[in-house]
Amino acid sequence: MKGTCFLNFIPTFLFLVSMAYSAMEVTNVTADQTALLALKAHLTDPHNILPNNWSTTASVCSWIGVTCGAQRDRVSGLNLSHMSLSGYIPSEIGNLSFLSFLSIRNNNFQGSLPNELARLLHLEYLDFGFNSFTGDIPPSLGSLPKLKSLLLEANFFLGNLPLSLWNISSLQTINISYNQLHGFMPSSIFSRSSLYTIDLSFNHLSGEIPADIFNHLPELRGIYFSRNRLSGSIPRTIGNCTLIEEINFSENNLTGEIKPNWPFLTYLVLISSIEFQ
Ligand SMILES: *[C@@H]1O[C@H](CO)[C@@H](O)[C@H](O)[C@H]1NC(C)=O
Ligand SMILES: *[C@@H]1O[C@H](CO)[C@@H](O)[C@H](O)[C@H]1NC(C)=O
Ligand SMILES: *[C@@H]1O[C@H](CO)[C@@H](O)[C@H](O)[C@H]1NC(C)=O
Ligand SMILES: *[C@@H]1O[C@H](CO)[C@@H](O)[C@H](O)[C@H]1NC(C)=O
Ligand SMILES: *[C@@H]1O[C@H](CO)[C@@H](O)[C@H](O)[C@H]1NC(C)=O
Ligand SMILES: *[C@@H]1O[C@H](CO)[C@@H](O)[C@H](O)[C@H]1NC(C)=O
Ligand SMILES: *[C@@H]1O[C@H](CO)[C@@H](O)[C@H](O)[C@H]1NC(C)=O
Ligand SMILES: *[C@@H]1O[C@H](CO)[C@@H](O)[C@H](O)[C@H]1NC(C)=O
Ligand SMILES: *[C@@H]1O[C@H](CO)[C@@H](O)[C@H](O)[C@H]1NC(C)=O
């Protein structure tokens, strides 16, 4: 299997987390309603859509932006994107126990993300892009066992990229471009990852790209680290991520000698001092 990089996934840890949290799952749709009303109470809605529509005289399943699933008629989706909302995400969000889709893209949400997001064990899609969130990306997000898409681009997130994100074996897309991330990129120690694209462009990440990260990303198609402060040499192991289509490492201070095996590559932006062998 030359050219790909495998490591066995160890499910035990996530399984135990999952057990611990399911005991805390809240029991019926009334809890979903309480959680959504808490969210509404933390919002300013200049178009006055939610105050009129999110009314307790009707089922939450008829509320704008809310989708219910077959699963005991609980809330499974929340889409409040492009509504000019501002405000905060309250900790009660963690009580939407069956939520699998959550998008509040393109609003003006502020503050930091509550750790309770980590209780959304069915969450597959999280899109908080184009808001004004700040603070650290909670490392607890690494315990979301079904997360496939983590979209946090164009906010003011600070601090380090949490190591725990490498632990989400279901994750396919990470976009945290256009934020204020600092520090070194964590190396991936344990997990096999199904990551398809990772975009960390336009941050302040520094130090070297850890040599081991490409050993655990056999599915990688697109990698974008441009406009950071990365230095040192690009790990040679990137050469054997064979499915890669797009690479953009421009505007860093990287060097390297790479022996590529990239039959699907459509574009590549590295730096001038790369040598191909
Ligand atoms: C939901 O559960 C609470 C207690 O946890 C109970 O008081 C309430 O009646 C239940 N609501 C429905 C709609 O079953
Ligand atoms: C809320 O909006 C939905 C979708 O437009 C509509 O079907 C529902 O009747 C509205 N509910 C109320 C109470 O206005
Ligand atoms: C979410 O809402 C936005 C704006 O109304 C819409 O464009 C988008 O298609 C919705 N997404 C989903 C998955 O329904
Ligand atoms: C929901 O979440 C809040 C804060 O995380 C908590 O205090 C509350 O007890 C939870 N349960 C219900 C049923 O609202
Ligand atoms: C990642 O998962 C492993 C077990 O699979 C666990 O031991 C480790 O603490 C996790 N790392 C982080 C940073 O969450
Ligand atoms: C990440 O988000 C930015 C801003 O929306 C976008 O320009 C970029 O194409 C996204 N990256 C990927 C890999 O989709
Ligand atoms: C690569 O990233 C730079 C930002 O450093 C951007 O200007 C350029 O358009 C990107 N190249 C491609 C092919 O997307
Ligand atoms: C990946 O590439 C490195 C250096 O180019 C090589 O030594 C290593 O054996 C390769 N790993 C796999 C799993 O193919
Ligand atoms: C770029 O990296 C080289 C070493 O690889 C170092 O000598 C140089 O100072 C760095 N330049 C900048 C602008 O950081």
DSSP conformation letters of 133-160: -EEEPPGGGGG-TT--EEE--SSEEESP
**Are residues 173 and 113 part of one domain?**
yes
Distance, CA of 268 to chain centre: 24
The domain boundary, picked from 177, 194, 221, lies at 177
**Are residues 255 and 187 part of one domain?**
yes
**Does 191 have pLDDT greater than 80?**
no
**pLDDT recorded at residue 11:** 37
Residue nearest to atom 14 of ligand 1 (CA): 28
**Does 64 have pLDDT greater than 50?**
yes
**Does 19 have pLDDT greater than 60?**
no
- Give the Å distance between the CA of 153 and the centre of ligand 6: 7
User: Is any atom of ligand 2 closer than 6 Å to the C-beta of 64?
Assistant: yes
Q: For the ranges 4-8, 83-87, 206-210, which has the lowest average pLDDT?
A: 4-8
Which atom belonging to ligand 9 lies closest to the Cα atom of 232? 5
**Are residues 259 and 207 part of one domain?**
yes
Residue nearest to atom 6 of ligand 5 (CA): 13
Mean pLDDT of 158-163: 93
**pLDDT recorded at residue 261:** 82
pLDDT bracket for residue 205 (50, 70, 90): very high
**pLDDT recorded at residue 16:** 38
Question: How many whole angstroms separate alpha carbon 31 and alpha carbon 25?
Answer: 10
**Are residues 37 and 173 part of one domain?**
yes
Comparing C-alpha atoms, which of 151, 105, 144, 143 is closest to residue 126? 151
pLDDT bracket for residue 222 (50, 70, 90): very high
**Does 141 have pLDDT greater than 60?**
yes
User: Is any atom of ligand 2 closer than 6 Å to the C-beta of 58?
Assistant: yes
- Based on the structure, what is the number of domains in the chain? 2
Average model confidence (pLDDT) across the chain = 86
The domain boundary, picked from 132, 153, 177, lies at 177
User: Is any atom of ligand 8 closer than 6 Å to the C-beta of 240?
Assistant: yes
The domain boundary, picked from 177, 207, 229, lies at 177
Question: How many whole angstroms separate alpha carbon 193 and alpha carbon 10?
Answer: 11
Question: How many whole angstroms separate alpha carbon 64 and alpha carbon 49?
Answer: 8
For the chain, report the end-to-end CA distance as a whole number of angstroms: 21
The reply to whether the predicted model has a pTM over 0.85 is yes
Among 192, 219, 236, 274, the mutation site with the greatest number of ligand 8 atoms within 8 A of its Cβ is: 236
Residue where the block lists tokens 């393109």 = 106
Residue nearest to atom 12 of ligand 9 (CA): 253
Higher pLDDT, 215 or 98: 98
Ligand 3, residues at Cβ distance < 6 Å: 79, 81-82, 103
**Are residues 97 and 125 part of one domain?**
yes
Task: State the residue range of the domain holding 94.
Answer: 1-177
**pLDDT recorded at residue 72:** 64
**pLDDT recorded at residue 26:** 54
Contact 71, 47 (CB under 8 A): no
**Are residues 233 and 162 part of one domain?**
no
**Are residues 257 and 169 part of one domain?**
no
**pLDDT recorded at residue 189:** 56
Among 81, 153, 176, 195, the mutation site with the greatest number of ligand 6 atoms within 8 A of its Cβ is: 153
Write the CATH number for 25. 3.80.10.10
Ligand nearest to the CA of 36: 4
**pLDDT recorded at residue 20:** 41
Question: How many whole angstroms separate alpha carbon 262 and alpha carbon 221?
Answer: 10
Ligand nearest to the CA of 165: 5
**Are residues 256 and 136 part of one domain?**
no
Which atom belonging to ligand 6 lies closest to the Cα atom of 173? 13
**Does 10 have pLDDT greater than 50?**
no
User: Is any atom of ligand 6 closer than 6 Å to the C-beta of 175?
Assistant: yes
Q: What phi-psi label fits residue 121: left (phi over 0), alpha (psi between -120 and 50 degrees) or beta?
A: alpha
**Are residues 189 and 170 part of one domain?**
no
- Give the Å distance between the CA of 264 and the centre of ligand 2: 47
**Are residues 43 and 93 part of one domain?**
yes
- pLDDT tens digits, 68-118: 997 668 999 999 999 999 999 999 999 999 999 999 999 999 999 999 999
**Are residues 224 and 163 part of one domain?**
no
Q: For the ranges 34-43, 57-66, 232-241, which has the lowest average pLDDT?
A: 232-241
**Does 24 have pLDDT greater than 70?**
no
**Are residues 223 and 188 part of one domain?**
yes
Radius of gyration of the chain (CA): 20
